[in-house]
Chain A
Amino acid sequence: MMARTAETLDRMLTEAAGLRLDPAERAAVVAAVSALGPALDRLAEQDLAGLEPVTAFRRDEA
């Protein structure tokens, strides 16, 4: 996932997910996710070719 703007994250919490959080808590959630931005951007840059998701995870089949 590419890092998202604070405004987008805020809308995801309220409009998309419909969570009832007070403004201070919403800001704390947005700040916590935003802090991961550079790491998430690094993941977004990785080539996924040939990789199937680990879904029904079993270590003996992973």
Chain B
Amino acid sequence: MPETDLPLLSLAEVARLLKRRTVSPVEVTRAVLDQIAAFDHRLNAFLTVRGDEALAAARRVERAIRAGRYRGPLHGVPVSVKDLVQTAGIRTTCGSRILAEWVPDADATLIRRFREAGAILIGKTHLHEFAYGPTNLNPHYGPSRNPWDPDRMTGGSSGGSGVAVATGCSYASIGTDSGGSVRIPAAFCGVVGLKPTYGRISRAGIFPLSWSQDHAGPLTRTVADAAITLQALAGFDPADPGSSRQPVPNFSRGLTAGVKGLRLGVPKEFFWDEVDPEVAGAVRKAVAVLVGLGGSVREVRWPMAAEARALSFLIMGAEAFSVHERWLKERPEDYGPDVRQRLAQGATILAADYLRAQRLRRRFIESLDAVLKTCDVLLTPTVPVTAPRLEETTLQWPKETESMTAALTRLTRPFNLTGTPALSVPCGFTAGGLPIGLQIAGRAFDEATVLRVGHTYEHAARFPVRRPQES
């Protein structure tokens, strides 16, 4: 195999080669570091790259595998994590000036689980400041740039993770998602992004944005790779008060079961209002592909989805303000203007407003549960548009102008309020060559069905393989 192909294999493929010792962890790590050298100066995916440490870890892993101590599909595989995740002895900036020099003394739980699985941490990826925004335009570290067109956004807040995976600079990257921050960059960068059920992956050691909406989840090049990564990270953690004791199933086992007999819900409204026609067309075609494979489509109604933005404004606004209140008062100049203003909005939310929103959230959750009694998954676009140009701040629709932040999170945010799993899978490219994402949302703790639908679609669609090119 040409060395240049190695970093672009799927995680599952490289894991097979590592297990058979066809390639060594050192070769794989070198290949990924070469890829970072080729792409990162242009696309700004990483805030920290750990080349020497990763190679040292790869040598240790190589000895372990040679000695017959193979641990599983992440053993020897280079991965990255969003720089919101604490790493012992490695700076964790949260994309901010305020924490630019912060070096935690403990690992987040998910880092520990990665290490236990034998994964090699290659670096920390770029993000929107404190994960509070969906564009990844960051005044402190510059924007991350879309691998398909560097003058366009990656989406955020886990933008660096989207770029890293799309360009072969990681086989998997962990992002966080409080309003769409895994799924939006996945859609814009042409990769897979999974927000699992709230509590499925521990958030202990991840800097909070909105405690009751924060999720961690993988970005990968295939759905099977998302299943493998989720398997390694899922499970109860007493250090995370939101962590769930639900049993963790084998997420890879049912992937190839197909969609025959599954009820595919397509919302009648909201998710198709003000959506770019090319995006809507690609997602409708994806639905047709799944129907052709035996899924039965049914139109469903979820009118309460339209309240997601206001509910989330009250909940995320109050929670984020609570996290940042002291810094916002004492050193407001250390925030970028967009995040400072967004945080300040939280100061206008009273305790009674917050509690009203959390009461209505119960009804919101019940309303989705009722919809998902009539179907097994919902299929929607992930984002209403493809990656906007870096300088765009609003979107113009026939009837209204929408702020970029509101537009990019409009279709993903409902599933943060419900805490239910949602996956973004590439479902085509625009005529201009930009990726489009299909969102597949399911019932709480039923990531298996969401992944199964995604995997079935991915295999049936069979896009011609396209990867971003170095310039």
Q: Is the CB of B444 within 8 A of A48?
A: no
Closest beta carbon of chain B to A24's beta carbon, Å: 10
Q: Is the CB of B355 within 8 A of A59?
A: no
Closest beta carbon of chain A to B312's beta carbon, Å: 10
B4 within 8 A of A: no
Q: Is the CB of A32 within 8 A of B345?
A: yes
Size class of the B contact interface (CB-based, 8 Å): 35 or more
Closest beta carbon of chain B to A41's beta carbon, Å: 9
- Of B328, B341, B356, which is within 8 A of A32 by CB? B341
B445 within 8 A of A: yes
Q: From known contacts A1-B356, A46-B360, infer whether A13 and B309 are also in contact, taking CB-CB under 8 Å.
A: no
Interface of B is mostly: helix
Closest beta carbon of chain B to A62's beta carbon, Å: 5
B357 within 8 A of A: yes
Q: Is the CB of A39 within 8 A of B359?
A: no
Q: Is the CB of B359 within 8 A of A51?
A: yes
Interface of A is mostly: loop
Q: Is the CB of A42 within 8 A of B307?
A: yes
Q: Is the CB of B311 within 8 A of A25?
A: no
Q: How far is the CA of A18 from the CA of B352 in the complex (A)?
A: 20
B197 within 8 A of A: yes
Q: How far is the CA of A39 from the CA of B350 in the complex (A)?
A: 17
Q: Is the CB of B444 within 8 A of A59?
A: yes
Name A7-36 residues within 8 Å CB distance of B: 9, 12-13, 16-21, 25-26, 28-29, 32-33, 35-36
Residues of chain A within 8 A (CB-CB) of B357 are 43
Q: From known contacts A19-B328, A43-B307, A51-B359, infer whether A57 and B348 are also in contact, taking CB-CB under 8 Å.
A: no
Q: From known contacts A1-B314, A18-B329, A60-B245, infer whether A44 and B345 are also in contact, taking CB-CB under 8 Å.
A: no
B63 within 8 A of A: no
Residues of chain A within 8 A (CB-CB) of B360 are 43, 46, 48, 51
Q: Is the CB of B244 within 8 A of A60?
A: yes
Residues of chain A within 8 A (CB-CB) of B359 are 48, 51-54
Residues of chain B within 8 A (CB-CB) of A46 are 360, 363
Q: How far is the CA of A16 from the CA of B348 in the complex (A)?
A: 9
Minimum CB distance partner of A55 in chain B: B358
Closest beta carbon of chain A to B178's beta carbon, Å: 12
Q: From known contacts A60-B199, A62-B365, infer whether A33 and B345 are also in contact, taking CB-CB under 8 Å.
A: yes
Residues of chain A within 8 A (CB-CB) of B309 are 36, 39
Encoded as 1 (CB less than 8 Å from any A CB) or 0, chain B from 442 to 465 comes to 001100000000000000000000
In this complex, which of A36, A40, A52, A62 has the most chain B Cβ atoms within 10 angstroms of its Cβ? A62
Closest beta carbon of chain A to B346's beta carbon, Å: 9
B261 within 8 A of A: no
- Of A16, A19, A44, which is within 8 A of B356 by CB? A44
Residues of chain B within 8 A (CB-CB) of A12 are 347-348
Residues of chain B within 8 A (CB-CB) of A60 are 199, 244-246, 444-445
B72 within 8 A of A: no
Q: Is the CB of B341 within 8 A of A1?
A: no
Q: How far is the CA of A23 from the CA of B438 in the complex (A)?
A: 42
Q: Is the CB of A40 within 8 A of B420?
A: no
Closest beta carbon of chain B to A39's beta carbon, Å: 4
Q: Is the CB of A19 within 8 A of B358?
A: no
- Of B310, B344, B356, which is within 8 A of A21 by CB? B344
B332 within 8 A of A: yes
14 contacts between A and B (CB under 8 A): A16-B347, A17-B347, A19-B344, A19-B347, A21-B340, A29-B344, A32-B342, A39-B309, A44-B356, A46-B360, A52-B362, A57-B212, A59-B444, A60-B444
For the A-B complex with A17-B325, A51-B360, A60-B444 known, give 20 more contacts whose Cβ atoms are closer than 8 Å.
A1-B352, A17-B347, A19-B344, A19-B347, A21-B332, A21-B340, A21-B344, A28-B341, A29-B344, A36-B309, A39-B310, A39-B313, A40-B313, A43-B357, A48-B359, A52-B359, A57-B211, A59-B197, A59-B420, A60-B199
The interface of chain B, by Cβ under 8 A from chain A, is: 197-199, 211-212, 241-242, 244-246, 307, 309-311, 313-314, 325, 328-329, 332, 337, 340-342, 344-345, 347-350, 352-353, 355-363, 365, 403, 419-420, 444-445
